[in-house]
Amino acid sequence: MAAIETFALGKTYLAGFLRKRPKIALKPLTLTVPEGEVFGYLGPNGAGKTTTLKLLMGLVFPSGGSAKILGRDWRDPAVRVNIGFLPEQPYFYDYLTASELLDYYAQLSGLAASQRRRRIGEMLARVGLPEAGHTQLRKFSKGMLQRVGIAQAIIHDPKLIFLDEPMSGLDPIGRREVRDLIQSLKDEGKTVFFSTHILSDAEALCDRVAVLHKGELRGIGVVQDLLARFSGNVEIIWDGAAALPALQALGCECHPTGETIRAVLAQDQLDAAIDAIRRAHGRLMSITPVRASLEDYFLEKLNDTPVEVAR
Ligand SMILES: Nc1ncnc2c1ncn2[C@@H]1O[C@H](COP(=O)(O)OP(=O)(O)OP(=O)(O)O)[C@@H](O)[C@H]1O
Ligand SMILES: [Mg+2]
């Protein structure tokens, strides 16, 4: 069963003070996310990521289209029990302690008192805050708040978790922790749909990603396939500056460090480059395929005119 299906789901806001003008935040979006997938929703500021999440959470009404979550109409209250949500800038009442906040959300999800106590302890440990249950949230750092926010999203053990920019504002250690947490949710078979600007996190975690720009889906695909599509360059390292002019003549970009030279070249130039190094009695040290990055794909999609979406 698909965890998320959207059918031409779209949103146009009426923006402006006196004279309201339509502002398209999300053009009709048709998308399927199977159960068990970690799905990265990428896009620059204002792309429509939060709007999509708000639509799916039933927090704003769509201007058109519909969606299904875990096989049910997305407005069906029964769906709520099985989904968790971390908003983009969660606001929690400062004077609550972490345990009180989690207890509040667990109550909303209908967990019994005895279950709640156990789950709160488990969740705080899971997000790396085992000692922080009795601390008021106003004393928390941004990273700690983000982790409490994630604990809130998973306290009721939902099947599907929506996270809006879960790594934003976190330092590298905090990001790593959130990444590990998302990975552990995946290992448990949960579906995670998260938006992000941080492409390396998407690359490390996601099965598939979608790129959204100006409210429009520009591309979607399996991360491994996207990366494979863009490779084709190799990095070659050798010892022996005598070969440098020959490699430069081939048009390779060369970076010498003393006698050791690193060059990046197209795969089809590799044979000619190796021959040139041998002729100059250079010593080949390594040949490594250059891995394409998700950033290449992302930037290409932002520059693209809208394309047929391959699924
Ligand atoms: N309530 C609203 N009224 C009018 N326009 C809105 C409203 N909410 C969002 N928009 C507009 O819709 C577009 C998409 O906004 P959205 O918040 O979904 O983008 P985003 O991809 O989440 O961006 P960011 O990365 O900055 O969080 C933006 O142009 C934004 O100005
Ligand atoms: Mg947003």
What six digits make up the tokens of 1?
A: 């069963």
Give burial (CB, 10 Å; 0-12/13-18/19+) of 86: buried
Tokens describing residue 227? 């990366």
Q: Give pLDDT tens digits for 103-133.
A: 999 998 888 988 999 999 999 999 988 888 8
| 304 found inside a domain | no
pLDDT in tens, 266-288: 888 899 999 999 999 999 999 98
Give residue-wise pLDDT tens across range 36-66: 999 999 998 999 999 999 999 999 999 999 9
Co-location of 248 and 219 in the same domain? no
**Is residue 301 lining ligand 1, measured as CB closer than 6 Å?**
no
Residues 23 and 53 in one domain: yes
Is residue 103, in this structure, part of any structural domain at all? no
Q: Is residue 28 part of a domain?
A: yes
Query: Helices (H), strands (E): how many in the chain?
Result: 11, 14
276 and 183 in a common domain? no
Give the per-residue pLDDT at 311: 42
Residue 57: both structure tokens together: 């959470």
Alpha helix ranges (H) inside the chain: 49-56, 77-80, 98-108, 113-126, 142-154, 172-187, 199-205, 223-230, 244-249, 270-279, 294-303
Same-domain status, 162 and 281: no
Q: Is the CB of 61 under 6 A from ligand 1?
A: no
Q: Alpha carbon of 65 to those of 21, 28, 55, 69: distances in Å? A: 21, 7, 10, 14
Whether residues 14 and 67 fall in one domain: yes
**Residue having the nearest C-alpha atom to atom 6 of ligand 1:** 13
> Pairing mode, if any, of strands 38-42 and 191-196?
parallel
Residue nearest to atom 18 of ligand 1 (CA): 48
| Domain extent at residue 35 | 2-82+158-228
Q: Ligand 1 centroid vs 288 CA: distance in angstroms? A: 42
**DSSP-assigned beta bridge partners for residue 286:** 237
Q: Which residues of 267-283 are buried (b: 16+ CB within 10 A; e: fewer)?
A: eebeeebbebbeebebe
Same domain, 271 and 185: no
- Please tell me whether residues 191 and 283 are part of one structural domain: no
Q: Are 235 and 262 contacting, i.e. CB atoms less than 8 angstroms apart?
A: yes
Our count of domains for the chain comes to 2
With respect to residue 45, please indicate whether it lies within any of the assigned structural domains: yes
| 217 and 249 inside one domain | no
Kindly state whether residues 237 and 202 are assigned to the same domain: no
In a domain, 132, yes or no: no
Mind listing the pLDDT tens digit for each residue in 219-275? 898 888 777 765 678 889 999 888 889 888 888 888 988 889 999 888 888 999 999
Give me the CATH number covering residue 19: 3.40.50.300
- Ligand 1 center to 25 CA (angstroms): 6
pLDDT band at 310 (very low <50, low <70, confident <90, very high): very low
Could you give the C-alpha distances from 257 to 76, 239, 241, 263, in angstroms and in order? 63, 10, 9, 11
Task: Report if residue 205 sits inside a domain.
Answer: yes
Residues 22 and 64 in one domain: yes
Question: Of the residues 228, 246, 269, which one is the last residue of a structural domain?
Answer: 228
In CATH, what number is assigned to the domain containing residue 283? 3.30.70.1150
pLDDT at 298 over 90: no
* % of the chain with per-residue pLDDT over 90: 55
Which atom of ligand 1 approaches the CA of 43 most closely?
Answer: 21
Backbone angles phi, psi at 228, to 5 degrees: -65, -40
Residue 199 forms part of a structural domain: yes
Q: Whose CA is nearest to atom 16 of ligand 1?
A: 48
Helix or strand run (H / E) with residue 264? strand 260-266
Q: Is 172 exposed, middle or buried (0-12, 13-18, 19+ CB in 10 A)?
A: exposed
Tell me the pairing of strands 260-266 and 253-257.
antiparallel
pLDDT at 116: 92
**For residue 305, what pLDDT band results from cuts at 50, 70 and 90?**
low
Domain assignment of residue 267, yes or no:
yes
* Domain end residue (candidates: 182, 204, 228): 228
Q: What's residue 224's pLDDT?
A: 80
271 and 221 within one domain? no
- Which residue's CA is the nearest one to ligand 1's atom 2? 13
As a whole number, the mean pLDDT across the chain is 89
Q: Are residues 201 and 163 both part of a single domain?
A: yes
Task: Please give the pLDDT value at position 306.
Answer: 55
What span, in angstroms and rounded, lies between the C-alpha atoms of 295 and 211?
11
Q: Rounded to an integer, what distance in angstroms lies between the CA atom of residue 257 and that of residue 170?
A: 36
Domain end residue (candidates: 176, 195, 228): 228
